[in-house]
Structure 1
């Protein structure tokens, strides 16, 4: 984008479009909401510096790769969030990233594989291994659907207060400290009572006087100042118009314009992936196992972003 205003508007819209998904992915990947928020804030801040040198179509891959590489998400020494879905908490770092790129970020297979730096076949195999399974080892379709619904709900219900806190961390602003209010004594609460009562009595007296004396007052003399004059304004250019950022934000097809960069949870977001997933779940027993060398290569690739 050559227009700086248009580039800034596109960057703002992109970051607003991924911050909810980013908050959930960082939380679930790192296992702790505080560490996840710090990682997301740092990624949002750093991405603004690299976006200008990155093609618009590559923004999603670059953003999610930077978020998964955040050091806050690699440190698991803190206390894990007990509200983390069990199917996610049971996964290691690599398989968890494989699953969340599809489940939360909503990336297509090719984009998710590019984020992790692996091939599509390796990503497909890693995702298959990360799917919830029953005790007999077969894929648990009901658990997958429940986990997908939980991810959608988590993205939809990210509190605005949390997003505001992430933006403050991104901008380097100091978070407001909570100050306990001082309890007022009986004398402090009643100090304003007498002045307020006197003002109310004076207002009532003035209203009664105006009602009593109003009919006896002489009418005002007619004059040019008593009428209402109106005249049309001359034609002129508006003082301001919508800037490119406001125009893009209010575009009626904004969701369609950002669909490729923000992802989509809809059933038609990636028909090829959905067709593969249905076949894999229904015909898992007929899948030909790969050789040990290929499986080891795929596992090593899935463990690293």
Structure 2
């Protein structure tokens, strides 16, 4: 049972068609040299192309080569080929076991490197290299024949290059013949078209967007709860902080201070005591020369011939008189 091609875009369909055109020539030669029957090889390749077209749209393009060759080499006619026929230049392939022959044609005909070919065949690298060694021609002494290997590789490349175009055209045949009730059958490469365009559901136009009162209310309530909790926590911390931080023996009451008048009845009466200096102070205060004694520093300065103080209530000269001017005048007057 073959997979039907899935609907793909025109770009993907073009990429798929270009990929198959680029790989079909080598793939046909690989299938033919592996099974030894051109008809069986064409049938196997057509089945692989149909299956690949059905899954290609689900794969990245970078995985297309690996998946295509994996589908081809796992076909029964290639895994377990029956008796076939090989031309004279390639008679060496008839004497190889199917695994060794498949390893050879995939490496030379498919143009794959050893790592990619081993991964496609699900073989470890050592097993794949061992299969290639079994496929290598031997000389008379049983040693690998490098010239024989190059000759086989040249014959395979020549067969790929000279492949008739008619055989490639047969690979593009439609899946089934057209009938009166069906449209013309296109090639299986053409992506399938949907039977009818999907009916689009009418899109309801949204009316003017209403203000999200519910969301705003939820946000407001949440903010109010948070603010209330923060205020309560702050008040609780302030109320409990003095009790926790008060040292032992200290007053922790933070209430208002009460003021009360103390009773004066029980206060003791203290008699005023006379100062021992009261008599001497009274004699000094009664002395008539006390004002002169209080200005003794002024008279001492005047007797020493000090300068006369400047009267700051009047305008001052730009150049002040020297300090010795008054002394000289006083000396001259004498």
Cα contact 1:35–1:73 (8 A) shared by 2: no
Match of 1:36 among 35, 38, 41: 41
Q: Deviations over 1:70-114 (max 9, x none)?
A: 223345445534557112111111111111111100001111011
Residue 154 of structure 1 corresponds to 159
Q: Partners of 2:91 and 2:139 in 1: how far apart?
A: 13
Quote the offset at 1:163 in angstroms: 0.7
* 1:28–1:84 contact (8 Å) kept in structure 2: no
Query: Deviations 1:226-272 (Å, cap 9, x if unpaired)?
Result: xxxxxxxxxxxxxxxxxxxxxxxxxxxxxxxxxxxxxxxxxxxxxxx
| Alignment partners' CA distance in 1, 2:85 and 2:124 | 31
- Contact kept, 8 Å, 2:79 with 2:99, in 1: the verdict is no
Q: Cα–Cα, structure 1 residues 94 and 113, in superposed 2: closer, same or farther, change >3 Å?
A: same
Figure out how many residues of one structure are paired with residues of the other and give that number. 171
- Residue in structure 2 matched with residue 53 of structure 1 by the alignment: 58
User: TM-score of the superposition, structure 1-length normalised?
Assistant: 0.52
What secondary structure does 1:95 align onto?
Answer: helix
Task: Say which of 105, 109, 112 aligns to 1:107.
Answer: 112
Report Cα offsets for 1:5-25 as digits up to 9, x if no partner: 322222111100111001101
Larger relative contact order (Cα-Cα within 8 Å, sequence gap ≥ 6):
1
Partner residue, 2:23: 18
8 Å CA contact 2:89, 2:155 repeated in 1: no
C-alpha RMSD of matched pairs (Å)? 2.1
Contact 1:35–1:72 (CA under 8 A) maintained in structure 2: yes
Hey, what does 2:175 align to over in structure 1? Answer: 172
Q: TM-score under structure 2 normalisation?
A: 0.48
Number of the residue aligned with 2:78: 73
> Which residues of structure 2 form unaligned runs of 5+?
1-7, 178-334
Specify the structure having the higher radius of gyration (Cα): 2
Q: CA deviation at 1:129?
A: 2.4
Displacement, 1:150? 0.5
Would you say the 8 A contact 1:38–1:72 is kept in 2?
no
Task: Pick from 117, 126, 137 the counterpart of residue 121 of structure 1.
Answer: 126
CA spacing shift, 1:10–1:98, aligned 2, 3 Å? same
Deviations 1:167-207 (A, max 9, x none): 21xx3256xxxxxxxxxxxxxxxxxxxxxxxxxxxxxxxxx
Deviation of 1:131 (Å): 1.2
Q: Distance in 2 between matches of 1:93 and 1:162?
A: 24
**Partners of 1:113 and 1:74 in 2: how far apart?**
15
Structure with more of its chain in helix, by fraction: 1
Q: Deviation above 6 Å: which 4+ runs of structure 1?
A: none
TM superposition shift of 1:132: 1.2
Query: In the aligned structure 2, how far is the partner of 1:126 from the partner of 1:25?
Result: 16
